Homo-oligomer: A and B are copies of this chain.
Amino acid sequence: MIEILKNKMTPESILTAGFGVEREGLRVTPQGKLALIPHPQIFGDKLKNPYITTDFSESQVELVTPVCYSVTETYDFLEALTDIVINEIDGDKELFWPYSMPCDIPEDKDIPISTYQGESGKKAREYREKLMAKYGGKRQLISGIHYNFSFSDDFLEILWKESGSELTYKDFKDKIYLKVLRNYLRYRWLIIYLMGCTPGLHESYIKKCLECMEENGHQTFLSQGGTSARNGNCSGYKNEIDLYPDYSSVSGFIGSVKEFINRKNISEAKELYAQIRLKPKDFTNVLGSLEKDGIQYLEIRTIDLNPFDKCGIAKVDLEFLNIFMLFLLLEGEEFFETWQQEALINEVAVAEHGLESALELLDKQHWTLKTAWAEDILGKMAEINEYLNLKQDHCIEVMLNRVKNPQTTYAYRLKELMTEKGYIRANLELANKYKLESVKEHYRLKGFEKWELSSQILIKEALTRGIKVTPVDASENIIALEKDGHKEYVKQATKTSVDTYITPLLMENKVVTKMILKENGIPVPNGEEFFSFEEARVRLPKYVGKKVVIKPKSTNFGLGICIYNRGGSLDELLEGARIAFEHDNTILIEEYITGLEYRFLTMGDEVVAVLHRRPANVVGDGILTIQELIDIKNQHPYRGDGHTSPLKKIELDDQSQMFLKKQGISVLSVPKPGEVVYLRGNSNISTGGDSIDYTEKMHPYFSKIALAAARAFDAKFCGIDIIIEDYKNPESAYGIIELNFNPAIMMHAYPFEGKERRLGYNILKTIGLAE
């Protein structure tokens, strides 16, 4: 089989598979007690949000990645969801518990079971109440990682075709997955050793379980040599008796599960708490669908949360699991009657004594030193890695180190930490650290860094609210959003189906814009158009000395605009015309209205944000030079390239050098304390300007004008630039300068000064995907 892979596939395509991670975790108070307030409303209907829901308890958040096709993609998506959860759960009152075993928990009657909406919600609730009665609530609060894995269709099809199998493709697939499942059962002890991390319990946990541990002070109970209480016999989440389904075929499996149900060992298929599960296409009819459609993927449930990683699982562990699945497929099998019992013995042995150096396990009915066996397996994996040129040396070496040096395992490290700080403090410190990390970079959405910030804002909001996000084209910033059968495609956050095709085409033309505004009774600056430089030359003399602006008919980022706010000479006006003609074959001259320019952002029927942009500037302190002040200002986390950052770093080009020179200063000048030094005339964010929120400060009269302008074009998403003499006074002179059909939203979402506006929500509302 390995020969087929070697000859017919590239290393990259061998490692390409379907990955999905579910990560549970408790919401806790800053004191480490179970949070008793409900699941945040923003996450919407728990039964419909595909990304963020609850598990057994209302306080137990479950994060679910969609199917991803690489380890990096999977980890990034999980990190994005983790950041969202950490930021959305009530920041002052709650933390996200990083450990699999519960925090300081109350008795069963006070553990809040998840509540749900509607008829199917009623069933979900009833099932949980039954579990509570049968297993107790405390055990149900245990959280972990579920790792879902499927081989790619390409991978399976090539194996099927090249192996000359006489099976149908469906049967071949089932056979592959069953083999991997059986081998997983055999070798799962290794995962429990490498990734197990439940060495301790809190005193509020089930009394009987605490007895298997040693009391260590600080309400802490620790296992001496165990790696994973969660996978052990004493504290874990297991069926009442050990069940050994038939994994030789799908029909055999179905038969055995039906037998368990008949025998009332379990009430339905999903109550079978196997370490690894066969997953069907149709979840509402697990056994029927497995038979009809075959196995779709495998779900591994062994893995404990890794409290040393914000996401609950380290990327290196995901990398290892990827190649481990391949090892399970390639490794031969030996069948004997008690192979499942043997695997269970090994599981429990490692869970409860994995850190003991002399531990022996049963390898095909022979006792073998755990360390030697582990090294043997990792050696085989290293061979596969080398033979297929998979370049996964790093993760194998990390695991080999964990085998050779048990003190590098998560379980050992956490036990040390709990010994020092106690169970609650050890976990709370980690939770607080992750919270700081998530809050600090809250404007970035992990895994979507290549997307424009505006798209990141929208995607993040959609993920939060459980609106299905499908990235369609990252380079063009196109996504599909879907909820309750309503699908919308969105490009660059605000190019949507709710605006018409013609609106942006009209708006990008300044002459047409003015015409339409005028028709709708909205004041625009007086002015005229020139279609040639010759025409400008003839008609410009009358504007000499007047306050005017000269600009190209269509503009982008303020390019080609000259402002004469103190009037210009004929030569200066002609130079302005020349510059404007470089950008368009029609130019405009307009009266210059005195005042400050404000950007009004409208979505649907609302002005959702207003801001003023101040030209790039620094404020002196009497000590530092302008250049030094710029360097410091540029260190602000919001300043970057202006596309993936809310603000742009200030760059000193020729224009700004000239601008300083005109003021009689240079970058080496030292401004007085409090002195504001402007570095250029225009206020665009794209040239280092500051954004200052005015949403609440602006007089509502001007917001009405902005909305009327957007409506004149039937524009649902619109940025309206208005110059206003006095923003507090509705009688003040004003004039609309420009309308923008693809308005930047990041400057409102993350302004330099003032309140951050949650615009992802407004976008979703405008396109009908949020209320």
**A262 CB within 8 Å of chain B:** no
Q: What's the number of copies of this chain in the assembled complex?
A: 2
Residues B538 and A473 in contact, CB atoms below 8 Å apart: no
Q: For chain A residues 672-716, which have a beta carbon within 8 Å of chain B?
A: 714
**A497 CB within 8 Å of chain B:** yes
Q: A585 — which chain B residues lie within 8 A by C-beta?
A: 475
A contacts with B: majority SS: mixed
Cα-based distance from A281 to B226 in the complex (angstroms): 97
Query: In the complex, what residue of chain B is closest to A584 when comparing beta carbons?
Result: B475
A10, A500, A515, A586: residue with the most chain B Cβ atoms closer than 10 Å: A500
Cα-based distance from A490 to B501 in the complex (angstroms): 10
Cα-based distance from A512 to B480 in the complex (angstroms): 10
Q: Contact flags (1/0) for A500-536 with B, using CB distance below 8 Å? A: 1111111001011001000000000000000000000
Residues A499 and B500 in contact, CB atoms below 8 Å apart: yes
User: If A478-B509, A478-B512, A538-B10 touch, does A490 touch B502 (CB 8 Å cutoff)?
Assistant: yes
Query: In the complex, what residue of chain B is closest to A491 when comparing beta carbons?
Result: B505
Cα-based distance from A346 to B187 in the complex (angstroms): 119
Residues A497 and B505 in contact, CB atoms below 8 Å apart: no
Q: A504 — which chain B residues lie within 8 A by C-beta?
A: 501
Q: Contact flags (1/0) for A620-648 with B, using CB distance below 8 Å? A: 00000000000000000000000000000
User: If A497-B714, A538-B10 touch, does A473 touch B512 (CB 8 Å cutoff)?
Assistant: yes
Cα-based distance from A538 to B586 in the complex (angstroms): 48
Residues A478 and B505 in contact, CB atoms below 8 Å apart: yes
Cα-based distance from A498 to B511 in the complex (angstroms): 23
Q: A512 — which chain B residues lie within 8 A by C-beta?
A: 472-473, 478, 489
Q: Contact flags (1/0) for A369-383 with B, using CB distance below 8 Å? A: 000000000000000
Query: In the complex, what residue of chain B is closest to A716 when comparing beta carbons?
Result: B501
Cα-based distance from A354 to B490 in the complex (angstroms): 74
**A240 CB within 8 Å of chain B:** no
Q: A473 — which chain B residues lie within 8 A by C-beta?
A: 509, 511-512
Query: In the complex, what residue of chain B is closest to A585 when comparing beta carbons?
Result: B475
Q: Within the complex, which residue of B475, B476, B501 is in contact with A501, where a contact is CB–CB below 8 Å? A: B501
- A150 CB to closest chain B CB, in angstroms? 20
Q: A500 — which chain B residues lie within 8 A by C-beta?
A: 496-501
Query: In the complex, what residue of chain B is closest to A539 when comparing beta carbons?
Result: B10
- A542 CB to closest chain B CB, in angstroms? 10
Cα-based distance from A503 to B498 in the complex (angstroms): 11
Q: A498 — which chain B residues lie within 8 A by C-beta?
A: 500-501
Q: Within the complex, which residue of B475, B501, B506, B741 is in contact with A499, where a contact is CB–CB below 8 Å? A: B501
User: If A473-B511, A473-B512, A512-B473 touch, does A496 touch B501 (CB 8 Å cutoff)?
Assistant: yes
A473, A491, A496, A505: residue with the most chain B Cβ atoms closer than 10 Å: A505
**A495 CB within 8 Å of chain B:** yes
- A429 CB to closest chain B CB, in angstroms? 43
Q: Contact flags (1/0) for A533-567 with B, using CB distance below 8 Å? A: 00000100000000000000000000000000000
Q: A478 — which chain B residues lie within 8 A by C-beta?
A: 505-506, 509, 512
Cα-based distance from A351 to B497 in the complex (angstroms): 66
Cα-based distance from A67 to B27 in the complex (angstroms): 73
Query: In the complex, what residue of chain B is closest to A538 when comparing beta carbons?
Result: B10
Cα-based distance from A501 to B491 in the complex (angstroms): 10
Q: A499 — which chain B residues lie within 8 A by C-beta?
A: 500-502
- A575 CB to closest chain B CB, in angstroms? 23
Q: Contact flags (1/0) for A588-631 with B, using CB distance below 8 Å? A: 00000000000000000000000000000000000000000000
- A330 CB to closest chain B CB, in angstroms? 24
Query: In the complex, what residue of chain B is closest to A516 when comparing beta carbons?
Result: B489
Q: Within the complex, which residue of B488, B497, B503, B538 is in contact with A497, where a contact is CB–CB below 8 Å? A: B503
Q: Within the complex, which residue of B475, B496, B586, B714 is in contact with A502, where a contact is CB–CB below 8 Å? A: B496
Cα-based distance from A497 to B715 in the complex (angstroms): 11
- A391 CB to closest chain B CB, in angstroms? 16
- A169 CB to closest chain B CB, in angstroms? 18
- A494 CB to closest chain B CB, in angstroms? 9
Cα-based distance from A472 to B510 in the complex (angstroms): 12
Cα-based distance from A506 to B488 in the complex (angstroms): 11
Q: Within the complex, which residue of B495, B505, B511, B714 is in contact with A505, where a contact is CB–CB below 8 Å? A: B495
- A257 CB to closest chain B CB, in angstroms? 35
Q: A501 — which chain B residues lie within 8 A by C-beta?
A: 495-501, 503-504, 741
